[in-house]
Amino acid sequence: MVDAFFFVGLPYLAIVICVAGCIWRSRYDRFSMSARSSQFLEDGKLLFGSLPWHVGIITILLGHLIVAVVPRVWSSLMTIPAVLFGVEALGVACSLLAIAGLSALIVRRITDARVQAVTTTMDLVVVVLLMAQIVVGLLSAITFRYGAAWSAGTVVPYFWGILTLQPEMAYVTGFPMLFKLHFIGAWVLIALVPFTRLMHVLAVPLGYIFRAPQLVLWNNPRRSRHAVDATVRAESRRDFIKGAVGIAGASGLLALGVSEKVLTYFKGPDPDPEAESALLQKKLERLQQTAEERQLELERQRVEMILVARYSELDAVKGKYFIDYAMAPGLAFKGKNGLPLLISAKCTHLGCTVGSQVNAEGQIMCPCHVSYFNIVTGQPNPGAPAKLPLPHLAWALVDPSGNVVASGRPGGEVEGTPSPELLAQCSLYITKPRHSA
Amino acid sequence: MDVRAHVSVIFHLDKCIGCHTCSVACKNVWTDRPGAEYMWWNNVETKPGTGYPTRWEDQEKFNGGWKYDAEKKDIALRCQNKADAFLKLFYNPNQPNLQDYYEPFTYKYEDLFTAPAGDDQPTAVPVSLITGEPIEIKSGPNWDDDLSGSPIYAENDLNLDKLTEEERAQLFEIERLTMFYLPRICNHCANPTCVAACPSGAIYKRGEDGIVLINQEKCRGWRACVAACPYKKIYFNWKTGKSEKCILCFPRLETGQPPACFHSCVGRIRYLGVLLYDAEKIPSAMKVSDRALVDSQRDAILDPHDPEVVAAALRNGISEEFLDSAQNSPAYKYVVEWKLALPLHIEYRTMPMLFYVPPLLPVMGKSANGTYEHSADNFFTSLEDARIPVKYLASLFSAGNEQVVEAVMRKLMAVRYYKRWQSVRDLAENDVHRILREAKTTPEEVEAIYQMTAIPTHYQRFVLPPLQREEAIESTCSPEACKGCSGFSLDPAFTPRA
């Protein structure tokens, strides 16, 4: 209930307040919209506050924006370790820069009498909220590293869910408290935009880049009858010429492409004999390689047992990866009873490889969309993107002389009770899955 | 030819007595509000002096105006380019601050009545109008008034840099200290840097009359205009977070009255009239060398009597009534016909449309036997020894081109000699006519200059064009529906408290 308010109710409340408030203010109170600079009253300390603050916060906000707009491109970039580390380091550096700048601004606002003369209550509220928000953000980025990589699969779907009116709070309800605070802070700040100086963020004068240097406005109706008509005529002529040239160019390119296709159709392909033979050779090599691989897989499936590890290598907390009969990843743990526990590591959501580390709740986590699976039951946590449990695998323990001393089935039935001394010498195998019929 | 009309202004400095009545009239009408106390849209400076804000002419510090690249023959803003303008939104290194103007103050007058009885007279201590705290007053808007010769103020005038030691010494010679007054309002430039620098596009030039205005609803307080204006005639309102400037009292102009500072001028130094100019020439006019700037600007101004110009103006939607006032304009006479009025610091290349007639008095140089020479023979040799060096005036009014200022001085002097000869008859007629010839003028022109300078009527000084605001308003909405939505609002939120 509380989660539903903070992660679905509050966002919609904030967005409605922000959009409606901004429209209202820009229509009925435009005079109040200003960056409200106090440089005129105090310009020494401002330099060391305003500049680092703005540069830092704008870089960070752009980072947040990019990952939301192009999550796929972004996460594929983040698979390169150097880029990931670079982005994380830049984020932390810019947060520190922004915190330093904001601290300087707060000190200046509190201590300078002239700046106090133009300070409103809302200014102080905003400045405190911003400071809290950025500190929480930095702390969560340090505590839970590589957010640049995993946020694309968790926060971004949540964010788009909100925007596309299909809120899916399951993505964020399992998050640590720090993140939750950061989300709530963001929505509160967005709701405050129309009532504070924050609105100047929406007034970024990008039009200045393209604007002619001089600006002349006419109120003269006589001019609109004569000169303006002429200007409009000239402009529409120019626009028409521009459009015609564009259409002609595009049709030319199109005609060129079509005629090329038509020509090759009638003439037939005409490849270079050498290139053709090289291409065929390459195809043959690839086919051979595929055949060999398939052969190996088949042989593997015919074998009764596949070696996973020596028993002594197993651990209760840190799983050992192996490849099962279906060529899918699996994890081997030492169970509570000292016997092996084998579970599939292929996430039942979208097939990512689940992590090998067991947390305090006895769960392993899929890093792609944060599903937690209990290793004993295989069940995902409630609300996780994955809905099906991870299956267990059948196993056998074999002593050095080749005798099966114990074996287990996915259901949990175990045959044989080897002594601990014997266990230590055993090796762990997976056994061929048998149809229960 | 793209003919445009401009309401232009002439200030005759020989007639200015430095009384500040214009400044006070403006203050009472426009800037007696919180956040605007320190602003003087109209101010009067003593020259030589540092002015308001202090040393506003120092473009090395404030980076105002256009920068001319002689090789590319192109101009660019000195204060910013399109990229670093965005970084300067957060902190503008070129912006003048409160210290450059002065901290506005008042006195705690009520203490005079409410102080408890004691041994001393109660005093009204000065308090800051910003913080309300008691302050020590360190400067004011005309702090260096009449302080010519002072080492703190006048010595720091940037226009003195080009003078030799000898000329400086002469200027500040004790008992012969020289100064004159320079009233300043917004120049309503034809090539304004404030418009070009505004990131929000809030500043614009009115097409009909050339008045430069700031749309207070579009202004976002980025302050680029304050830095860009080389005359420092845009002020930042610290209370509202918006920039403000002289509006040439357009609500008065639209109702047929001259601006408040013009109307109140005691010395009647101010003239107002229409100039027609060719907008096509504006981009190239300011891309010439410093020496040619004054002539280049005069070239862009069109003759309102030329039938071709009149036809092109009518085509451009300038009304016949407007053209009538252009033909009677004192501004056209002073600037183009007589070539007596010069722009202030044209080297900033904003093409100011406010022109000054440079001061002639006291022009006389060295005295012999304690009296100044008054003979026609040695007058022009003494121009070089004038108490205000021509070099100094050239630095102010002609981007250092002394010939331009000399020509003006000779003509002004010729008027004076001619009128003296007419009334006193203590000069030879031949000499007077020689002086007129050397000043490249005629008795008719001299009479006209005398008439316009000394005894003009109100309607000769102020030839106000009909701005036909009513037509402009009617074309967009009915007068009944438009009540209160144009000019200064009748919205109760903006009416002053009773």
Q: Is A271 part of any domain?
A: no
Residue A363: Cβ within 10 Å count: 20
Beta strands in A188-347 (DSSP E): 216-217, 305-310, 320-323, 329-334, 340-344
The answer on B179 and B287 residing in a single domain is no
Query: Which whole number is the average pLDDT over B17-32?
Result: 96
Burial of A293 (0-12, 13-18, 19+ CB in 10 A): exposed
Beta bridge partners of A371: A366
Q: Which of B496, B29, B35 is nearest to B241 (CA)?
A: B35
Would you give the DSSP letter of residue A392?
A: B
Q: Which of A186, A207, A228 is the last residue of a domain?
A: A207
Q: Is A355 part of any domain?
A: yes
Q: Is B384 part of any domain?
A: yes
What is the CATH number for B317? 3.30.70
Amino acid at B248: L
Structure tokens at B303: 């003759």
Chosen from B4, B33, B89, B205 to mutate, greatest number of chain A CBs within 10 A: B89
The answer on A150 and A8 residing in a single domain is yes
Beta bridge partners of A395: A408, A430
Which residues, 6+ apart, have CB-to-CB distance to B111 below 8 Å? B122, B123, B124, B125
Q: How many domains does chain B have?
A: 2
Query: Which whole number is the average pLDDT over B74-98?
Result: 93
The answer on A343 and A203 residing in a single domain is no
The answer on B410 and B306 residing in a single domain is yes
Pairing relationship of beta strands A216-217 and B203-206 according to DSSP bridges: parallel
**Residues in B 112-141 with any Cβ partner in A closer than 8 A:** 130-133
Name the CA dihedral angle for B405, B409, B411, B416, rounded to a multiple of 10 degrees.
160
Beta bridge partners of B47: B180
Q: Give CA–CA dist B50/B215, Å, rounded.
A: 31
Q: Is B85 part of any domain?
A: no
The answer on A203 and A344 residing in a single domain is no
Q: Is B416 part of any domain?
A: yes
Between A300 and B346, where is the model more confident?
A: B346
DSSP string for A271-290:
--HHHHHHHHHHHHHHHHHH
Q: How many domains does chain A have?
A: 2
CB contacts, 8 Å: B92 with chain A: 39
Q: Is A213 part of any domain?
A: no
Q: Which of A181, A207, A233 is the last residue of a domain?
A: A207
Q: Which member of B130, B471, B474 has the closest CB to residue A117?
A: B130
Between B24 and A297, where is the model more confident?
A: B24
- Look at residue B479 and tell me whether its pLDDT is greater than 80: no
The answer on A22 and A147 residing in a single domain is yes
Q: Which of B101, B174, B108 is nearest to B141 (CA)?
A: B101
B396-435 pLDDT, tens digit per residue, is: 999 999 999 999 998 998 998 899 899 888 788 998 999 8
CB contacts, 8 Å: A224 with chain B: 317, 475
Interface residue B79 vs chain A (CB under 8 A)? no
Q: Give CA–CA dist B477/A16, Å, rounded.
A: 34
B489: confidence class by pLDDT, cuts 50, 70, 90? very low
Residue B66 near residue B78, CB atoms below 8 Å: yes
Would you give the DSSP letter of residue A9?
A: I
Chosen from B86, B216, B220 to mutate, greatest number of chain A CBs within 10 A: B220
CB contacts, 8 Å: B239 with chain A: 118
Query: Which whole number is the average pLDDT over B139-160?
Result: 87
Q: Is A185 part of any domain?
A: yes
What is the CATH number for A36? 1.20.950.20
Q: Give CA–CA dist B402/B393, Å, rounded.
A: 8
**Residue A394 phi, psi dihedral angles, 5° rounding:** -75, 145
- Interface pTM, i.e. ipTM: 0.87
The answer on B31 and B165 residing in a single domain is yes
* Closest alpha carbon within chain B to A202: B220
Residue B355 near residue B341, CB atoms below 8 Å: yes
Q: How far is B46 from chain A (nearest CA, A)?
A: 25
Q: Which of A214, A22, A14 is nearest to B201 (CA)?
A: A214
Q: Which of B226, B118, B91 is nearest to A49 (CA)?
A: B91
- The pLDDT, as a whole number, for residue B223 is 94
Domain boundaries, position A425 = 305-431
What is the CATH number for A392? 2.102.10.10
Q: How far is CA A350 from each of CA A294, A315, A368, A377, B470, rounded to the nearest angstrom? A: 24, 27, 9, 20, 71
| Per-residue model confidence as pLDDT tens for chain A (437 residues) | 788 888 889 999 999 999 999 999 998 899 999 999 999 999 999 999 999 999 999 999 999 999 888 888 888 888 888 888 999 999 999 999 999 999 999 999 999 999 999 999 999 999 999 999 999 999 988 888 777 777 888 888 899 889 888 888 888 888 888 889 999 999 999 999 999 999 999 988 998 998 888 888 887 666 656 655 666 677 788 889 999 999 999 999 999 989 988 888 887 767 788 888 998 999 999 999 999 988 888 888 888 888 888 888 888 888 889 988 888 899 999 888 888 888 999 999 888 899 988 888 889 998 888 889 998 888 998 888 888 999 988 888 888 888 888 888 887 778 877 777 788 888 888 888 765 43
Q: Which of B237, B266, B295 is the last residue of a domain?
A: B266
- The pLDDT, as a whole number, for residue B377 is 57
Q: Which of B210, B238, B266 is the last residue of a domain?
A: B266
Residue B186 near residue B41, CB atoms below 8 Å: yes
The answer on B179 and B37 residing in a single domain is yes
If DSSP codes are grouped into helix, strand and coil, which group holds residue B134? Answer: strand
Q: Give CA–CA dist B102/B98, Å, rounded.
A: 6
Query: Which whole number is the average pLDDT over B160-188?
Result: 85
Q: Is A26 part of any domain?
A: yes
Residue A208 near residue B77, CB atoms below 8 Å: no
B194-205 pLDDT, tens digit per residue, is: 999 999 999 999
Residue A381: Cβ within 10 Å count: 16
Structure tokens at B364: 């006389």
Mean pLDDT (chain B, rounded):
88
Q: Is A380 part of any domain?
A: yes
Q: Is A53 part of any domain?
A: yes
Decide if B240 and A34 are in contact by the 8 Å CB cutoff: yes
Structure tokens at B327: 């033909």
- The pLDDT, as a whole number, for residue B496 is 43
Query: Which whole number is the average pLDDT over B366-379?
Result: 55
Which residues, 6+ apart, have CB-to-CB distance to B12 below 8 Å? B269, B270, B271, B356, B357, B453
Chosen from A34, A58, A59 to mutate, greatest number of chain B CBs within 10 A: A34
The answer on B299 and B179 residing in a single domain is no
Decide if B472 and A219 are in contact by the 8 Å CB cutoff: yes
Interface residue A28 vs chain B (CB under 8 A)? no
If DSSP codes are grouped into helix, strand and coil, which group holds residue A353? Answer: strand
Decide if A209 and B472 are in contact by the 8 Å CB cutoff: no
Burial of B407 (0-12, 13-18, 19+ CB in 10 A): middle
Residue A256: Cβ within 10 Å count: 9
Q: Give CA–CA dist B170/B176, Å, rounded.
A: 8
- The pLDDT, as a whole number, for residue B472 is 67
Q: Is B411 part of any domain?
A: yes
Query: Which whole number is the average pLDDT over B339-359?
Result: 96
Structure tokens at A6: 């903070």
B490: confidence class by pLDDT, cuts 50, 70, 90? very low
Q: Give CA–CA dist B46/B303, Å, rounded.
A: 35
The answer on B292 and B424 residing in a single domain is yes
Which residues, 6+ apart, have CB-to-CB distance to A417 below 8 Å? A406
Q: Which of A207, A227, A256 is the last residue of a domain?
A: A207
Q: Is A366 part of any domain?
A: yes
B456: confidence class by pLDDT, cuts 50, 70, 90? very high
Q: Which of B301, B311, B292, B338 is nearest to B439 (CA)?
A: B338
Q: Give CA–CA dist B150/B50, Å, rounded.
A: 11
Amino acid at A74: W
Interface residue A225 vs chain B (CB under 8 A)? yes
The answer on B445 and B328 residing in a single domain is yes
Q: How far is CA A287 from each of CA A283, A293, A296, A326, B426, rounded to the nearest angstrom? A: 6, 10, 14, 22, 121
The answer on B173 and B311 residing in a single domain is no
B229-262 pLDDT, tens digit per residue, is: 999 999 999 999 999 999 999 989 988 899 999 9
Residue A206 near residue A188, CB atoms below 8 Å: no
Query: Which whole number is the average pLDDT over B71-98?
Result: 93
If DSSP codes are grouped into helix, strand and coil, which group holds residue B121? Answer: coil
The answer on A187 and A51 residing in a single domain is yes
The answer on B403 and B306 residing in a single domain is yes
Structure tokens at A196: 């504070």
**Residues in A 181-210 with any Cβ partner in B closer than 8 A:** 200, 203, 205, 207-209
The answer on A311 and A192 residing in a single domain is no
Chosen from B77, B82, B91 to mutate, greatest number of chain A CBs within 10 A: B91
Q: In terms of residues, how long is chain B?
A: 498
A67-113 pLDDT, tens digit per residue, is: 888 888 888 888 888 888 999 999 999 999 999 999 999 999 999 99
Domain boundaries, position B423 = 270-461
Q: Which of A11, A100, A113 is nearest to A49 (CA)?
A: A100
